[in-house]
Structure 1
Amino acid sequence: MTTVTIERLGQQGDGVAPGPLFVPLTLPGEIVSGTLEGDALVDISIEAPSSDRVKAPCSHFRSCGGCQLQHASDDLVAAWKRDLVVTALAVHGIETEVHPTITSPEKSRRRATFAARRTKKGAMVGFHARKSDAIIPVPNCILVTDGLAGVAPLAEALAVAGASRKGALSVTVTEGLEGLDVAVAGGKPLDGPLRILLAGLCEAHRLARLTWEDELIGMRVPPAQAIGNASVIPPPGAFLQATQHGQDTLTALVQKIVGGAKSVADLFAGCGTFALPLAEKAEVLAVEGASDMIAALDAGWRQAQGLKRVRTEARDLFRRPLLPDELARFDAVVLDPPRAGAAAQIAELAKAKPPIIAHVSCNPQTFARDAATLQDAGYVLEWVQPVDQFRWSAHVELVGSFRLAHTR
């Protein structure tokens, strides 16, 4: 038996003791004992608990792998996520005001991916256990909206109809304005009988849309999402902010940074999370690598009322970033790249020097790297706002406000 004191939380939410040793489900300051296996402790006993240790609000927390931090107080989790941002910036010598974390409430996740496996007697639906392929049923998940909470019967029926006995279905469910948008992956190849069976499930469960391995099975009503004053129909499985609260928070922050800009470039624009609300006051160029997402954005803009012009372009910004001469006419630039960041595009922004940049990120490390490039080019990082859409997880998003030093 090994006894250690937990010094801090690691980037994945595990406790870290000297060594380092990784100890899941522990908190800073706790004295714990367990069996040493490599660089981890297992079969853990809490000898002296932290004052921030709380009873997990979900009865499935110990077995389900969907959450990592329900044993910690909300204040500790929010402070830890803020510290992740502060630490990432400090690595690059960047100091700025980092605001307290804004956290989405319980039962606000409007999108989730469920695992569904066919069994001898029917099917099993839930989330994967920690570091395992085992599926844990979670009938009363406190993360997802009420609209998603009742999808188990649908997912079970999908698994019985079209899952292989060798693997689980991945059932991604998104709550829209007119019902659930369901995209299934990992199932049997479509044939005539399976297509008919799935179409029946789409109707029986009153789904807005059902796709199977990216092929449309049925669409009772368009699975629209409200983005600002527009209504957008995203492609199946397309990126969407995890909670409406998170989307509204990020949008308000970006609008605050952009201010009264009359011409804005929105890079990595997706389906228009920022481009469409910004178009209420500014002309926007929206650039996105996925052509189906940019088409959805364009259609949403054309059907909306009262928006200024939004030009769209499908373009791989990793391989073909916008160049300084293309960026010269914009008063502000917004970018929301994937986890890898936007090194190539940031390099061109550093040359072009638009007066204002609103940088949204889901990875503090790549954000800090790109922030250092902008700082070297004469930008001031005025403030950073962490946003937690993935409550009780190790993920954190953020928005940073950059302004050229001479424009302050």
Structure 2
Amino acid sequence: MHLTIDRLGHQGDGIAHDADGVAVFVPMMLPGEVVEGEVANGRMAAPKIVTPSPDRVKAPCRHYRACGGCMLMHASDAFVADWKAEVIRLALSAQGLDAPLRPTATSPARSRRRATLSGRRLKSGALVGLHARASDTVVEITDCQLLHPALMATLPALQEAVVLGGSRKGEVAFTLTLTKSGVDVAAEGGKPLDSSLFQALATLAGAADLARLSWNGEPVATRRPPAQRFGEALVVPPPGAFLQATAEGEAALLSAVRAAVGGASRIADLFCGCGTFALPLAEGAEVHAAEGEAAMIAALDHGWRHAPGLRRVTTETRDLFRRPLMPDELNRFDAVVIDPPRAGCEAQARELAASKVPVIAAVSCNPVTFARDARILSEGGYRLGWVLPVDQFRWSPHVELAARFSRD
């Protein structure tokens, strides 16, 4: 069957239509390409390209076809940047909204400072890598073009950790984070931590020069505090805590947030995490930071108390999904920053829409829920001034953004 790719879906697969108008999904394709192959269950699993797109490039990674980490490595950087901007534009359009889109800020190759790898115990040794596309098969990645070299350097130690504490029946998930003092490793899914495993893992952490190692939520070794710098503050997040995926992506989002709030002197940072935005903003404003995870709030507060020259930062552990800040609380601030998880912040957006806050800086990792919440704010009298697409999950279909809302 010959098909022409019409567009890309949100997951990065090409979408074509057969003679009956039925959608057919074709992996690793680009719009305008003509392909042929067998179609089964609405999918062409092994397409042959008849006519390639001018935007097609040779994938720079040897693991590309086997590994599921990068879905769009066959497309030019310009195409991916424009496509991710279009994903945001279409999400807004579906909610009846429009706004100027700034040029996409794309992180460079080998810049991911945070990732989760999977480890499996083998009959002889262990395998650590990423999952293949739509599979639980683990693919070894010896020359990843995505991850920071410091994370790649931990692979031998991770393999040894799987041999020590992995099970043949399950996987060990390693959340790796590059910090100012080395790599922080949080392992989940391994065998229960007894005294002999504890000692073996602690020895391994020393030999691999890890900053910190935790196992199933329990600390094993902290050789150096795994600190992150947020403005003037050094913060030690709890194991596995959220962090922007690249330093370049974080810088682009922070710059956009600063531009959005302008000279506000009192700012609320909602879904603040460990202080990615709250602490740099405290260099020029009083900040109230709210977050549902107590450990992250404690890390933020400790970082603020030991940083020089920051203005007052108050903190609050609060489930903003069930108990959002209400209009009378919000009206004390000149600006609000919101950075919710993928589910968005519908409840908090409704309270913001009923408030008198002059400016909102919004950060999102899901254009669909962002557009839903943006519509709520728009109906409440806010105007969406601009949107900045941020691509820190390079070569993936994942899209992030920052935006500014203001009251007329």
Normalising TM by the smaller chain, what interval?
over 0.9
Structure 1: distance between partners of 2:329 and 2:167 = 50
Structure 1: distance between partners of 2:256 and 2:101 = 13
1:117 aligns to 2:108 (yes or no): no
Partner residue in 1 for 2:229: 226
> How much does 1:353 deviate?
2.4
> How much does 1:126 deviate?
1.1
| Structure 2 residue runs without a partner (length 5+) | none
Equivalent of 1:256 in 256, 259, 265: 259
SS in 2 for 1:270: coil
Give 1:8's aligned amino acid.
R
1:12 aligns to 2:11 (yes or no): yes
Taking the TM superposition and a 5 Å limit, the aligned residue runs for 1:5-404 are 5-18=4-17, 19-404=22-407
Structure 2: distance between partners of 1:319 and 1:378 = 24
Larger mean Cα displacement after TM superposition, 142-151 or 182-191: 142-151
Give 1:9's aligned amino acid.
L
Structure 2: distance between partners of 1:103 and 1:43 = 30
SS in 2 for 1:401: strand
Cα distance per residue 1:289-330 (max 9 Å; x no partner): 000000000000000001000000000000000001111110
User: Given the two structures, how large is their TM-score scaled by the length of structure 1?
Assistant: 0.98
Structure 1: distance between partners of 2:340 and 2:209 = 34
Cα distance per residue 1:7-63 (max 9 Å; x no partner): 000000000001211100011000001111111112210011111111001111010
SS in 2 for 1:367: helix
Structure 1: distance between partners of 2:228 and 2:351 = 33
Structure 2: distance between partners of 1:283 and 1:148 = 36
2:5–2:33: 8 Å Cα contact kept in structure 1?
yes
Give 1:266's aligned amino acid.
D
> How much does 1:100 deviate?
2.1
Cα distance per residue 1:145-172 (max 9 Å; x no partner): 1111211101111000000001121111
Give 2:11's aligned amino acid.
Q
User: Given the two structures, how large is their TM-score scaled by the length of structure 2?
Assistant: 0.98
Percent of matched pairs sharing the same residue: 56
| Structure 1 residue runs without a partner (length 5+) | none
Structure 2: distance between partners of 1:371 and 1:81 = 18
Structure 1 segments (4+ residues) deviating >2 Å: none
SS in 1 for 2:354: helix
RMSD: 0.7
2:154–2:208: 8 Å Cα contact kept in structure 1?
no
SS in 2 for 1:37: coil
Aligned residue pairs, count: 404
Structure 2: distance between partners of 1:366 and 1:44 = 33
Give 1:358's aligned amino acid.
A
Structure 1: distance between partners of 2:99 and 2:88 = 11
Structure 2: distance between partners of 1:249 and 1:52 = 26
